[in-house]
Structure 1
Amino acid sequence: MSICQLLGIEYPIFQGAMARIATHKIAGPVSEAGGLGIIGGGGMSRDDLREEIRLVREFTDKPFGVNLMLQMPNCDELVDVIIEEKVPVVTTGAGSPARYIPALKAAGVKIIPVVASVRHAVKMESLGVDAVVAEGQEAGGHIGSTSTMALLPQVVDAVKIPVLGAGGVGDGRSVAAMYALGAQGIQVGTLFLMAEECSIPASYQQRIMDANDTDTIVTGREAKDPVRSLSNTMLRKFAELEEANAPHEELEKLTVGSLSRAVYDGDMETGSAMAGEIAGLLKEVLPAKVLIERLFSEAEAVAKQLTIKY
């Protein structure tokens, strides 16, 4: 069964659960356009999540999902809301969803963890999840240590459930590449930052449009919590201090509130504006529907033109 058949969606594309960004404002339009819009549950209260779910349903009657950041202390409450509100799909990150799988399965919820290693993918399959998203380190936000090109085919070979690819998708060429590596679909985050419906400030979108191929930076590797963002003064300073083994307290002073400064205030110098390496390819803001349709029409054209010469 294809991922589209499994979830009842038209296009095999998930919108990434970007922290503080993935609300009904982008999830609703993505689902209405035929993809799977996803509400990022991280940082939300029980009431916040319930409101977001209902706002998505006011916008569209098509399938959508909720992402659970499993390190959140109120995950139990969020799972209760997901079940009560009959959310059709849950994606997960930052841990194992094992303790929640029986209740979610009993409620008919499809469970799709985001994984960064073959070992994790195999473990998730053994727990009975419905599919996995294999995300390479090209992606924005929290990342693993293996590139998509290396990770994806190894995950595909290791499991029998559907696999979606994530990290590095910016146009039809990269979609075709994901399929060539064995994916049944894709998850996209950075590209949807360029959707007209995305709620980030104009300065954030402009910073992406101004980016080049080397304009992201990874911080937090020393703490084993790497995050990819658009490079700026604050993050370069953080990287210098991290390399010099500065105390945690000194590093925390720099970054406390930095995600909010980027997402809500549009501060591109002292904020953490998460984005993937593909940012250097993105040069215009378009409706989510146009972004999705263009991705797949380009991918089909690329696939038709592919030839191997030797």
Structure 2
Amino acid sequence: MAMKTRICDILGIQYPILQGGMAWVSTAELASAVSNAGGLGIIAAGNAPADWVRNQIIKAKEMTDKPFGVNVMLLSPFVEEVMEVIYKEKVPVITTGAGNPGKYVEKLKSIGTKVIPVIPSVALAKRMEKEGADAVIAEGTESGGHIGELTTMVLVPQVADAVDIPVIAAGGIADSRAVVAAFALGAEGVQIGTRFICSTECAVHENYKKAVLDAKDRDAVVTGRSTGHPVRSLKNKLTKEFDKLEESRASIEELENLGRGKLQAAVCNGDVVNGSVMAGQIAGLIDDIKPCKDIIDDLIGNTYGVIERIKSFCGGN
């Protein structure tokens, strides 16, 4: 079945579906599987050193001949070295988070790289358009990991009204109902993270996948608001410790020390008790593990059933 928007043309992909850049989760294996299935797979650079990112890019090129991207966290201590790797490897697409990629845009575009920042507000979306972004990802607070304050429902239509470049919706999207809703709000694509954690190609520890599968509707909680960089993850012993520290008005340094290395501990070592199990609020809707191709086929194929259901409410017109 066909579903084509400007995002498909800009990125050279079959379906307007991007896989979220999740640190330690979004490796070459996951990214290449999503790209091979018709979406855009994305390797997450996170706080990893440049050599790790280079190896992941090389591996992805071996595993797919389709476009893929790299997500760059602009607060990473290795951001300059990572950008040099992206220039050298001529990565087709980058998405960015935790800052403004403006100073890199000109050079990236000179090598043909498409630049798509993740934005939490209308103001930043408009600024990114002026600085040459090819599209923006409007990410609602429902997402896992680092979050903003606005929900997807209110953020996406305001951004879509404010800019002329395509808008990609993110946050709370895991099935075809949410895809249809995103397009109704004005998006031309969707970015999906948590749903792809529970794919067969995702290399995270099985404990992490099980934690997502077992999650209920209120299990994805937010910690770290007092630091100015809130994070959504599944509640466990670590999130309770964060809550206690914040209630005691602990310093930002104490909070950062508590969280240091905890995502990697969960993703790679399977410590879902003391580790940070980052996941979105949509985790409560996910109940199976299957290949990326099946996930994307379901997202696209079932979309038409949702649209027909909506038509039935309107007298079939």
Out of 286, 303, 311, the residue aligned to residue 299 of structure 1 is 303
Aligned to 2:37: 33
Query: Aligned pair 1:94/2:95, yes or no?
Result: no
Which residue in the other structure is 2:200 paired with? Answer: 196
- The match for 1:277 among 277, 281, 286 is 281
| TM-score calculated relative to the size of structure 1 | 0.97
Shift of 1:249: 4.4
CA gap 1:249/1:81 in 2 versus in 1, 3 angstroms:
closer
- Please give the TM-score of this superposition, normalised by the length of structure 2: 0.95
Distance in 1 of aligned mates of 2:102 and 2:258:
35
1:83 aligns with 2:84: no
Aligned length: 310
CA distance in 1, matches of 2:300, 2:244: 41
Distance 1:121 1:252 in 2: 28
Partner of 2:181: 177
Q: Secondary structure at the match of 1:261?
A: helix
Distance 2:246 2:209 in 1: 28
Encode CA deviations 1:212-257: one digit per residue, 9 max, x unaligned: 1000110111111010000002211211221231233443443232
SS class of match (2:269) = coil
Amino acid at match of 1:9: I
117, 120, 125: which one aligns with 2:124 = 120
1:51 aligns with 2:55: yes
**1:1-310 maps to which residues of 2 (within 5 A)?**
2-307=6-311, 308=313
CA RMSD of aligned residues (A): 1.4
Q: Deviations over 1:106-130 (max 9, x none)?
A: 1111100000101110110010110
Q: Residues of 2 paired with 1:6 and 1:309: CA distance? A: 33
Contact 2:97 2:118 in 1 (8 A): yes
- Which structure 1 segments of 5+ residues have no match? none
Once the two structures are TM-superposed, the CA of residue 261 in structure 1 deviates from its matched residue by: 1.4
Q: Distance in 1 between matches of 2:88 and 2:252?
A: 40
**Structure 1 residues 75, 251: CA separation in 2 closer, same or farther (over 3 Å shift)?**
closer
- TM-superposition CA deviations, 1:98-149 (whole Å, max 9, x none): 1101110111111000001011101100101100000000000000000000
Q: Aligned partners of 1:252, 1:175: CA distance in 2, in Å?
A: 35
